Amino acid sequence: MSLEVIILAAGKGTRMRSDLPKVLHPLAGKPMLVHAVEQAQGLLPKCVYIIVGHHADQVEATVKPLGAECVPQDQQLGTGHAVAQAMPKVDPDAIVLVLYGDVPLVPTSLMQQLVNQAGDQSLAILTVTLEDAAGYGRIVRDHNGQIQAIVEHKDANAQQLKIKEINTGILAVKASLLNSWLPRIESNNAQGEIYLTDIVAMAVADGVGIMHLQPDHPQQTQGVNDRLQLADLERWYQRQHADQLLRDGVQLADPTRFDLRGELTVGRDIYIDINVIIEGQVHLEDGVHIGPNCHIKDAHIGMGTKILANSVIDQAQVAQNCSIGPFARLRPGTILHEHAKVGNFVETKNTTVGRASKVNHFTYLGDTKVGKNVNIGAGTITCNYDGVNKFKTTIGDGAFIGSNSAIVAPVNIGVDATIGAGSTITKDVADEHLAIARGKQRNIAFWAKPIKI
């Protein structure tokens, strides 16, 4: 039996007070809707349909690269009406899983359990028990504990309002059953909407079994209606990852001040200080030490490397026992070989720094290949861009670049060559040569200082 997924994402999200559609607000660095789509795709469904309405073009542009198909809901008349928009596209023999774009953290494993419970004559729903159930639809059971209906908060009576088990809206059911129920839903309720939840009572009346599951944590099925709820969910999500890293042997200076916005793989004996952001795909080998306020994105950090405070590493490859920062910026295409040092206020891009070479302070290296055991003095710049094209600089093993040098690419600095401080180098320098390119110093005696008029 095939599986097809419908994700509701048409709402405006007025309480977010934003021009951005609610489902596109980020959690852990990516839109909530993308979380929902990616988790659903873990089930390998035949198709994922996204019901779009408010700013449909923005939503479609976000999910199209993921392979999802958007279905318009021109009028937002309720959840039942939203699901009905996709049903003509769904195989009647398929199981349909209904999800929500503003409920981003439902695990794939929980979705699979729900789908497994749905069958030819069973409706599977996801419920959760909350201490404060205000605002949610209540799960109404009979004296035998069997689910009989879902009553929305605004339609509930005083006794029903005391129920703490609530509806998440997430369900799985055979498409043919949905097709028989959706046309029968009426809008005679406080909101005047076509509620998908009304199919529960229809299932009971038709003798269809009601199966149910609950998540391990309420946050896994928590919807987001405003920025406060989004912030709360973000912190819960981050704490789950932080706790797992602690169990994996990573030392976090403060688990509440760590953000993971991608995937992190780790070795042993790693230390991460406060306010570190990990983004994209990052791998940390054994013994890596990361100081406070660092941002690391799509990078591989070698064994024993130390990254000092306030450094940014973006799409870089760092070998073992390197030293980076503080306040260093490694931009895309940077490669550091073992024991290389990149110090404070150094920026690199498309640059390779060889074994045991040092770039200690206030330097920019762009489109540069630095050999082994090179020392680059403070204030050095490789001038790689003429306003139209970029050019490469090569610095040979053992070279010494004096402070405040400007190396105008394309240029080659030879093995064991020396560049005098304050030079502007525009021509190649041979091995073991000294190059000095600066104006001759003049000392003027009895210089009369300017006088303020």
What DSSP element (H or E) covers 84?
helix 79-86
Task: Give the residue among 301, 273, 297 at the shortest CA–CA distance from 287.
Answer: 301
Largest Cα separation within the chain, whole Å, is 108
Distance separating alpha carbons of residues 142 and 290, to the nearest angstrom: 57
The token pair at 224 is 């987001």
CA 260 – CA 305 distance, rounded (Å): 20
What is the C-alpha to C-alpha distance for residues 360 and 346, in angstroms, rounded to an integer? 7
Taking residue 207's Cβ as centre, other Cβ atoms within 10 Å add up to: 7
217 included as an active-site residue: no
Name the residue with tokens 């005083």: 158
Catalytic residue among 212, 241, 337, 361: 361
The Cα 365–Cα 405 span in angstroms is 12
124: closest CA among 83, 163, 82, 174? 174
Q: What's the angle, vertex CA 205, arms to CA 203 and CA 207, rounded to 5? A: 70
Q: Give Rg (Cα) of the chain.
A: 31
What is d(CA 326, CA 29) in angstroms, rounded to the nearest whole number?
Answer: 25
Estimate to the nearest angstrom the gap between the alpha carbon of 332 and the chain centroid.
18
3-state SS class at 274: coil
CB 319 within 8 A of CB 301: no
Structure tokens at 80: 């039942």
Structure tokens at 387: 């306003």
Dihedral through CA 310, CA 316, CA 320, CA 324, nearest 10? Answer: -20
| Of the candidates 263, 291, 262, the residue with the CA atom closest to the CA atom of residue 275 | 291
Contacts of 70 (CB under 8 A, 6+ apart): 49, 50, 51, 52, 56, 59, 60, 63, 64
> Which residues are catalytic, by number?
361
